[in-house]
Amino acid sequence: MTNIFKFALGSALAAALVAQPSLAQTAKKPVVAAAPAGQRGTLAAGVGVADLQGAVANTNAYKAAVQQRQQAYKPVYDSAQARLTQLQNQLKPMADQFNADRAANKADTVLQSEYDAIQKMQAQGEAEIKQILAPANLSDEYVVEQITGKLPQAVQNVMSRRGITLLLNPDAVILSAQPYDVTGALVAELNVLVPSAQVTPPPGWQPARVRQQQQQQQQQVTGTAPVATPRPGTTAPKPAGPQPEGR
């Protein structure tokens, strides 16, 4: 065995207990890269750039919900922190023993066994901590869904107001002049449409990803295909074959 095991719980998990992983932590910065100073050119009409995830994370409703959750779910965070501390105390002597045995050139079979035991305990501990944090995670998803439910309307309002016909995600842009970015305008629009959000989901509530999975599983069991919903402003397709004549 050539790798020395370094005792350290996953940084992402540890950070989760200081501030629960949320949309605000993972969202990109709302402002895309600006063109070099002094560079001028004609802006393409009808084009805009917006970070939708960043817009949601920067709304007043989401920011307030993050603060409220720290209090509403304090027992959850405290419990997860306690389990994290316990896990670290359990892993440290195991890691110290492993490193000492490796320095003493113990057999690879011994080192492998110790390493596997450490990995197993860490994985189990992390799974337990994530389970403890599940209610707080569910709260975050509930808040996000409340805001993203108004996102299509907010996008349409901003595009109409600014005459935008092509809206790009920052990932699709290499370099952009600041005037193209409308994320701030999108945040302002969402602040109007969703001034606040409920932090605690109602009993039995499931996030959209779970509801979609359940629907797909149900369709597989029944053998039915999802029913296509006509887009606004369009009519549903007529069934094939002769149609009855109107009077």
> What mean pLDDT comes out for the span 92-121?
95
Mean pLDDT of 129-137: 96
> What are the domain boundaries of the chain?
11-35+44-222
In DSSP notation, 137-186 reads HHHHHHHHHHHHTTHHHHHHHHHHHHT-SEEE-GGG-SS--GGGB-HHHH
User: What CA–CA distance (Å, rounded) separates 39 from 110?
Assistant: 63
Calpha distance 150→205 (Å, rounded): 19
Q: Quick one: average pLDDT of 220-239?
A: 54
Residue 158 Cα to chain centre, angstroms: 24
pLDDT band at residue 227 under the 50/70/90 scheme = low
Instruction: Give pLDDT, residue 173.
Output: 81
